[in-house]
Amino acid sequence: MPLDNCPKCQHRLGPPLKSSGRQVCMKCGWSDKPRQTAAHPQKSAPPPRDLTPDEIHKILSQAAAVSLNNMKPKSKQDPTLKDE
């Protein structure tokens, strides 16, 4: 049975979503069911690895080059430097 108000913030809830049947609060994001789809089941992310000082230096140098390029007028920007 659908709820009328969010149990977390008391905001009025809309009807359940047609695609999943979940009820989601548009104000705080509360949901009555965890978000999970058959096509994209939840996976645990691999643990992050530590970067070497050389890798950090390379990343920072690339970021600085892109940032400096973005400060130039559009007509003088280098198209090979893209902010990704």
How many whole angstroms separate alpha carbon 48 and alpha carbon 42?
A: 18
Give residue-wise pLDDT tens across range 41-56. Answer: 556 777 788 989 999 9
Give the residues across from 5 on adjacent strands. 12
pTM (whole model) above 0.75 = no
How many whole angstroms separate alpha carbon 50 and alpha carbon 56?
A: 10
Among candidates 18, 19, 23, which has minimal Cα distance to 4? Answer: 23
Where do the domains of the chain lie? 1-32
How many whole angstroms separate alpha carbon 9 and alpha carbon 13?
A: 10
pLDDT > 90 in the chain, percent: 37
How many whole angstroms separate alpha carbon 67 and alpha carbon 26?
A: 36
